[in-house]
Amino acid sequence: MSIKDAMSCFTTGVTVVTTRFNGQDWGMTCNSFNTVSLEPALVLWSVRKESQSREAFVQSGGYLVNVLEKSQKNLALQYAQGTQAERFAGQTLVRSAQDYVRLPQSLAWFECKLSQVVSAGDHDILIGEVVDFGLQPGQGLAYAQRSFGSLAALV
Ligand SMILES: Cc1cc2nc3c(=O)[nH]c(=O)nc-3n(C[C@H](O)[C@H](O)[C@H](O)COP(=O)(O)O)c2cc1C
């Protein structure tokens, strides 16, 4: 039993965050996403300092958060491993105003301008100001205790 086991008892949604840096798309699965403020609209997520994509997310000046729908478990797995090219392969890629990849079946998305980077232990917290967003009907993909599910039972 570890602290990670205890932390994994907290049920979260699942997102894929994307950015564009050095002429290339970058993306990774993330469940540390959360909302922070309404006025101004601020959200956050945390990236492991040793992550290959950390520099791209910190240097690019912004990111797009795709909130995954329950049918997108395959994308949650795809964006958590492999090369960046493999992560973006085999999908219809829609682009946001800032040229970040938007995954079309996502439940919601937030395009953000990076506003603050807070160093916190082995992660950096990336606080972003929401500049555009959208949503469509559906149910979110949930994650707890290293398993995916849905919150369909919520009324
Ligand atoms: C459900 C799930 C949630 C994750 N959440 C995060 C997260 O919030 N922050 C993070 O740095 N990594 C997170 N990861 C791990 C990254 O997706 C994974 O380490 C990825 O391979 C990092 O890619 P990179 O090293 O190429 O940047 C998560 C993985 C999964 C499966």
Per-residue 3-state assignment (H helix, E strand, C coil) for 28-42: EEECCCEEEECCCCE
pTM metric for this prediction = 0.97
> Could you tell me if 145 and 8 are in contact, meaning their C-beta atoms sit under 8 angstroms apart?
yes
* Best probe residue, ligand 1, of 30, 54, 86 (max atoms within 8 Å of C-beta): 30
pLDDT digits (tens, 9 = 90+) for 61-75: 999 999 999 999 999
Q: Which domains does the chain have, with CATH numbers?
A: 3-150 (2.30.110.10)
Q: Which atom of ligand 1 is nearest to the CA of 123?
A: 11
Q: What is the DSSP letter of 69?
A: B
pLDDT digits (tens, 9 = 90+) for 88-103: 999 888 999 999 999 9
Binding-site residues, ligand 1, Cβ < 6 A: 14, 28-32, 45-48, 51-53, 76, 80-81, 143
Residue partners of 105: CB distance under 8 A and separation at least 6: 69, 71, 72
C-alpha dihedral, 146 to 151 to 53 to 55, nearest 10°: -120
- Measured in angstroms, how far is the CA atom of residue 47 from the centroid of ligand 1? 8
Beta bridge partners of 34: 44
| Residue 42 pLDDT greater than 70, yes or no | yes
- Measured in angstroms, how far is the CA atom of residue 9 from the centroid of ligand 1? 17
- 39 burial (CB, 10 Å; 0-12 / 13-18 / 19+) is exposed
- Residue type (1 letter), 102: R
The three-state secondary structure class of 116 is: strand
51-84: buried (b, 16+ CB within 10 Å) or exposed (e) per residue?
eebbebbbebebbbbbbbbbebbebbebbeeeeb
pLDDT digits (tens, 9 = 90+) for 120-131: 999 999 999 999
